[in-house]
Chain A
Amino acid sequence: MTYAKLGNLRFIGHLDLQRLFERALRRTNLPLRYTQGFSPHMRINLASALPLGFIGEAEQMDFWLDDEVSLDEISNRLNKALPAELILKNLQVIDNQLPSLQASLLTSEFEIVLPPDLEPGNLQDQMNALLEQDSLPVQRRKKTVDLKNLILTWQLDCQPAKTLMVTSMKATPLENGRPDELLVLLGIDPADCVITRTKMVFSEE
């Protein structure tokens, strides 16, 4: 399932989103698959946690059914069961043998709308200067992460009405890029920006 997470739901964290999906799926009355055992859990699998405050345009999730149901039927029921700001974009039947979404996620792409009062001026120069450094260490809780390794592309897109930043970053469990950390390096408060994860790229295998 590909979905968008918008509006107020940007402020709902990953674990809460997981519970929200479980309840939405229960409302569909679809033949959902549960784990075996004393306290069965619904089998669902979200590709990657979206940081609080970010918009997700093409988020992905897997869920399992016990019986075959047409995609149209699933889509109809999901549309009724999802909260207004979680929008179903696409459904696809996948091979059960495929590795999990988390295991096959390679990169995430982000679009950042910079604050309207920010002068782009020498922003490009600042970005280039950062990219020319050997490493870009940032502090995450107790460990230091080198952002330099995580940036695949990073560009500025100055449009007449707004200034955008577009970046593609590694998104594997061990190496996960966060665009808000790039903004902090530039001295921009991420809370002043609108950050959207626009795409997730998965391994073809």
Chain B
Amino acid sequence: MQKININQLEKILYHVEKPGRYVGGEHNQILKDWDSTHTHVCLVFPDIYDIGQPNLGLAILYDIVNQQPDILAERAFAPWHDLEAQLRENKIPLFSLESKHPLAEFDIIGLSLPYESLYTNALNVLDLAGIPLLASERGEDHPLIIAGGQACFNPEPMADFIDAFVIGEGEEVTLELIRAFEELKESGADRKALLLGLSKLPGVYVPSLYHINYAQNGTISGFTPSEPGVPAIVTKRIVSQLPPHPTRLIVPNIETVHDRLSIEIMRGCTRGCRFCHAGVVNRPVRERSAAEILQIIEDGLSSTGYEEIGLLSLSSSDHTQVLELTRSVYDKFHDRKVFVSLPSLRIASFSVELMDELRDLRPGGGFTLAPEAASPRMQAIINKPLDNEVFEETVRTVFEHGWLTLKLYYMIGLPGETMKDVQAILDAGKRVLAIGRQLRGNRVKVHLSVGNFIPKPHTPFQWYPLNSTDELQAKLDLLKTGIRRTGLKLSYNIPDNTLLEAWLSRGDRRLGHVIQRAWQLGAKFDAWGENNNVPIWRQAFFETGLDPDFYAYRERALDEILPWVHIHTGVTKAFLQRDLEWSKQGKTRKDCREQCYACGILDSFGKVRPVSPLVYWGCP
């Protein structure tokens, strides 16, 4: 096994931009003794340090694993192009930040896959580590490669490369998996037996233990375990109560995105927007109490010295104690020179009041609201109804309370959308700008940020085709022409940039060949829009004989076996289908805290629901 030559590495670091990305040594880094710890785990976020280090999921797992005295967890990230070239030229394998051990020396590598555009980076990381890309080509001496994260609710496109996926929340299953790994290894299990053993853990999916058959038309005709005892359906893991939040967070030495004390105040969302992947896969809603959050802030600030706090959730104004929380945050911390951001607020005057409670604790800048759709018809289709009076009242409150910039998020390409619905986005923007100018004059800025809808697995819209590039372009053209001389600002995504996510998010196992070929042809950092790797991906599809349109533009039949058929989020197919039907009828659903629509979550997880009323679950 090749060791990293530290002198050689340091010499290379002189020649790269931002060497601080690769050296670790941050405050709160945990550096354990390699030889006196039994099991070595490397947590890998396959994007550059600047993007990956702030990831809260990584921080949570780093904390949980390192709390075990006999296990060591270190970190690694994807190197930027400059270091990658140096590593390849000097034949230095990719290494961990803490002890600079080559990744191949670890027992387990845990890959974080929160979104699809990291897939080629994940392959690149394995390659730089000298680990065979294909799970089938790895032997007894190679690390076990596990992956988890929100993208893994459809694990199939990455199935060829990953030994075992963790489906759902990792706080409990990660340690169970490591301990099971240790026991199986000690009992002398070979790799095959190890994987078979791990497949029996709830929430662990071992893709090599399944047979898939395809029909003539390319759809899946059968998905079955190939060994006895392997579960046909893998149900996601959840924690019944949000575990203690890490507070001894690593403080990066170089500037990163979201360089702040991030605190998850709530998990899940009860609103049921039909396009929303996170809203389905993170059910049920679980909260931390205001008192607990205040203590986390106190401890987190002492241990990190951060000057900014981010209170994170999918829908912060829905936290049952959010008003009390914002008031107490101001009272307790206003003299500590901290900024507090509270993103993901609902469109209601109440949200403006919340931000007002934080007064001088909020970072300067604008207010953001996300109507997502502008016409009442589209709002009903996506189940995000918005009364126009409420919208205008909220907007008025925003401007009256001192904000001069308002950013509005919308989507185009939604199911059933017409040009009239797109025009409604422009009309809404103009109305908002008129209100702002009436109240605050010409200093007011209104910014329309328009994203392209991508159908996601496990949502009521999972059967819909993606809008074609031509359709999206026509809608964008309408917007681009329409904002001229209005004073509105428009930002949007190039239609082609949505293709990769569309192909991969609902892809099947055959896409493994495409991912590998695209990586060989040079695709990486696919999330970085300026790379425009779409032509490379088209080439990869062509060479592997697969049709990209089959994945992006095809409407799936309701009885089709979808590639994620074996992954159960707790929400039933019957519920999704009913919700799709309601969407077609323009029928909306209430917030599910008010009324249960029997999505299936309580059938799957009701048993683990805490009996104590002090532990909040959003379900009635």
**Which residues of A come within 8 Å of B, CB atoms?**
7-9, 11-13, 16, 19-20, 22-27, 29, 34, 39-40, 42, 52-53, 81-85, 190-192
| In the assembled complex, B197 has its CB within 8 A of some CB on chain A | no
- Partner-contacting stretch, out of B155-163, B304-312, B376-384: B304-312
Please report the C-alpha to C-alpha distance between residue A34 and residue B307 in the assembled complex, in whole angstroms. 13
B453-482 Cβ-contact flags toward A at 8 Å (1 or 0)? 000000000000000000000000000000
| In the assembled complex, B520 has its CB within 8 A of some CB on chain A | no
Return the chain A residue nearest B11 by Cβ. A191
Decide yes or no: A53 and B307 within 8 Å by CB, A7-B25, A8-B23, A39-B364 being known contacts: no
- Pairwise interchain contact B251-A23, C-beta atoms closer than 8 A: yes
A84: chain B residues at CB < 8 Å are 25
- Pairwise interchain contact A85-B304, C-beta atoms closer than 8 A: no
Return the chain A residue nearest B22 by Cβ. A11
Decide yes or no: A8 and B305 within 8 Å by CB, A13-B20, A34-B337 being known contacts: no
| In the assembled complex, B26 has its CB within 8 A of some CB on chain A | yes
Please report the C-alpha to C-alpha distance between residue A16 and residue B22 in the assembled complex, in whole angstroms. 15
- Pairwise interchain contact A25-B23, C-beta atoms closer than 8 A: no
> Count the B residues whose beta carbon is within 8 Å of the partner chain — how many?
26
- Pairwise interchain contact A191-B14, C-beta atoms closer than 8 A: yes
| In the assembled complex, B302 has its CB within 8 A of some CB on chain A | yes
- Pairwise interchain contact A23-B364, C-beta atoms closer than 8 A: no
| In the assembled complex, B24 has its CB within 8 A of some CB on chain A | yes
Decide yes or no: A11 and B23 within 8 Å by CB, A16-B254, A29-B302 being known contacts: yes
| In the assembled complex, B27 has its CB within 8 A of some CB on chain A | yes
Cβ distance B495 to chain A, nearest Cβ, rounded Å: 38
Does more than half of chain A's interface fall in helix, strand or loop, or is it mixed? helix
Query: How many pairs of residues, A versus B, come closer than 8 Å at their CB atoms?
Result: 70
- Pairwise interchain contact A20-B364, C-beta atoms closer than 8 A: no
Q: For chain B residues 509-525, which have a beta carbon within 8 Å of chain A? A: none
Q: For chain B residues 277-301, which have a beta carbon within 8 Å of chain A? A: 301
Sorted nearest first, the 9 A-B pairs with minimum C-beta distance are: A8-B25, A23-B305, A26-B305, A191-B14, A8-B23, A11-B19, A27-B305, A83-B27, A191-B11
A23: contacting residue among B22, B24, B304, CB under 8 A: B304
- Pairwise interchain contact B302-A27, C-beta atoms closer than 8 A: yes
B233: chain A residues at CB < 8 Å are none
- Pairwise interchain contact B27-A22, C-beta atoms closer than 8 A: no
A7: chain B residues at CB < 8 Å are 25
Cβ distance B103 to chain A, nearest Cβ, rounded Å: 19
Cβ distance B35 to chain A, nearest Cβ, rounded Å: 20
| In the assembled complex, B303 has its CB within 8 A of some CB on chain A | yes
Return the chain A residue nearest B336 by Cβ. A26
- Pairwise interchain contact B305-A40, C-beta atoms closer than 8 A: no
B251: chain A residues at CB < 8 Å are 20, 23
A26: chain B residues at CB < 8 Å are 301, 305-307
Please report the C-alpha to C-alpha distance between residue A22 and residue B338 in the assembled complex, in whole angstroms. 13
A sample of 7 cross-chain residue pairs with beta-carbon separation below 8 angstroms, ordered by A number, consists of A9-B25, A11-B22, A24-B27, A27-B304, A29-B302, A83-B26, A83-B253
A16: chain B residues at CB < 8 Å are 20, 253-255
- Pairwise interchain contact B305-A24, C-beta atoms closer than 8 A: yes
* Other A-B pairs, 5, CB within 8 Å; known A24-B27, A24-B305, A191-B15: A20-B251, A20-B253, A23-B307, A26-B305, A83-B253
Please report the C-alpha to C-alpha distance between residue A135 and residue B24 in the assembled complex, in whole angstroms. 42
| In the assembled complex, B189 has its CB within 8 A of some CB on chain A | no
| In the assembled complex, B490 has its CB within 8 A of some CB on chain A | no
- Pairwise interchain contact B254-A53, C-beta atoms closer than 8 A: no
B25: chain A residues at CB < 8 Å are 7-9, 83-85
- Pairwise interchain contact A8-B24, C-beta atoms closer than 8 A: yes
Return the chain A residue nearest B254 by Cβ. A16
Please report the C-alpha to C-alpha distance between residue A63 and residue B253 in the assembled complex, in whole angstroms. 20
In this complex, which of A34, A40, A192 has the most chain B Cβ atoms within 10 angstroms of its Cβ? A192
A19: chain B residues at CB < 8 Å are 255
| In the assembled complex, B13 has its CB within 8 A of some CB on chain A | yes
B20: chain A residues at CB < 8 Å are 11-13, 16
